[in-house]
Structure formats: C-alpha cells, structure tokens
Amino acid sequence: MSFQEIEGPNLWPDASKIPNFRPTVENYISKMTRLSTVVRKLVSESIGLDSDALDGYFKPNQQCKMKLISYPDESALASTKSVALDDTPLTGQGVGPHRDSDLLTYIFQATDHENSLQVQNFQGKWITVPNIPNHLVVNNGQTLEAITQGVCKATIHRVLIPKPGSGTRISIPFFQTIDLDCFKTPVKDIPEDIIKLKEERDQKIKDWAVDVGFQFKPDVEKEPIGYAVFRNRIKSHQDVAKRWYPTILKQVLQEYSY
C-alpha cells in the first residue's frame, strides 16, 4: 500500500559540504526516541492504564520522523497576505491551524523567536506558547486521540510568521508514530472515572476547531493508521505529491473538497 512508503532510509546531504550534520541529527533522533518511549508510558499511567498499555501499537523499532523547518520573517514574505499560513503550494511555507496526525509531537524551538507558536484552548482562544530555552513543547496528535477514545484531545496549533527583521525562525519537531500497518482498536479498559472526566470536559467545549481545515482522521478499526497519516501529508505537501503521487493527490483533493 502507498502509505508504507512513508517509512524508508533518510537522504543525507553531502558530508563534505555540511560536516557533522548526519551524526548530529542521528544522535538527536536516538535520544528523542528513548525520551518519547518513556513519555508514552507516562501518558498511559496518567489516564489510569498500565505503563505498557500502548506498547502493542508500536513496532519494536519505533517509527518516527524529524523535521528541520525554517520560517522566513515577514520582510522576506512581503507578498504574503496571511499571518498564519497553510503549508501548501498556494500560500508558501508556514502552518495554519491544524492537528498533527501522529501520536505525539515534540517541538524544539531552536531560535529565540517569541509569539510564533500558538495553541487553541477549548473556548477557541489562541494562546502563545512561551519559548523557553532548552525545553520541548509536546502536542497530542490525532492518533493518540483515536486510540484513547478521545480522552487525549489532539492539540490544535498554528505558527505565525516571524516579525520583520527578526530573522528566520527554526523549529525542530519530532513526530512519534505507531505502527503504520496497525488496525488495532482503541484502548478499551480506560477507567470509568477518566471517561466521566472526558465527558464533563467535552460538554464545556465551544468555538473550538471552527477554523481548522479538513484533515483525514484515523479510524483504526477500519483501516491502517498509515492511511490517514499518508493522506494528510499528501494534502499538506501538494507540490511533492503532484510529482510523485499525482493519482493519489487527485483522490485526496476530491475527498476533502466535499
């Protein structure tokens, strides 16, 4: 299936032009993989499950993805009208309101820009995430929401263009993903008191997610988790998809146009 092509070897730049790039990135991925394994166990415990309750959703070698993202400041995007951009060929680089497809995302803000990363609370208000040096921002993904029966809501977030003259913002997100071939059903033994808290919380939600564009949501009982992950990437990176997956891109555009 096409989504299986998400997994594969990395393409590295010429080491003679960027010395130490590969070992530095591989070291970071290795450390983040270990950290994310610990965090997923803590998440399990936080909702009343055994620490290993989510282990069955993962391959022995946990699948993950890391990005190095640069956001040019506003002076470099003089022709751009939108403050919060969608990552499509039509609007250029940037990220509008969205949820990540994966289990958890760990974001390292590598530059000292302020007022760039924002999250939306359940009343629809946008809240700026403080840029604390040497800290990680952790977002819940749609996969985590799906397998926890909605207990762990996926984080709605966006990125604003850096102010003119502030320079390029660098962000390094690390995405933790379950087995893409997984058909497993959501966790069934979440304690009743946790489910009750979830229901009470959901009753208070209003004006939330109203400005979030269409995203494919994982239905882990009917299709592999990779199906939704792959189609969200096709939607978000249409220039790449047009070259390598034109047929699938056409299907994706038809699906979310309705």
Q: What is the mean pLDDT of residues 41-51?
A: 97
Taking the domains of the chain in order of start, what are their residue ranges?
Answer: 9-255
Model pLDDT for residues 213-252, shown as the tens digit of each residue: 655 565 656 778 788 778 888 888 899 999 999 998 998 8
pLDDT by residue (tens digit) across 2-22?
777 778 888 899 999 999 999
Average pLDDT over residues 91-114: 84
Average pLDDT for 172-184: 86
pLDDT at residue 172 tops 90 = yes
Average pLDDT score over residue span 87-106: 70
Please count the residues of the chain: 258
> If you average pLDDT over residues 189-218, what whole number do you get?
83
| Distance in angstroms (rounded) separating the CA atoms of residues 55 and 62 | 10
Q: Which CATH number fits domain 9-255: 3.40.640.10, 3.20.20.450, 2.40.40.20, 2.60.120.330?
A: 2.60.120.330
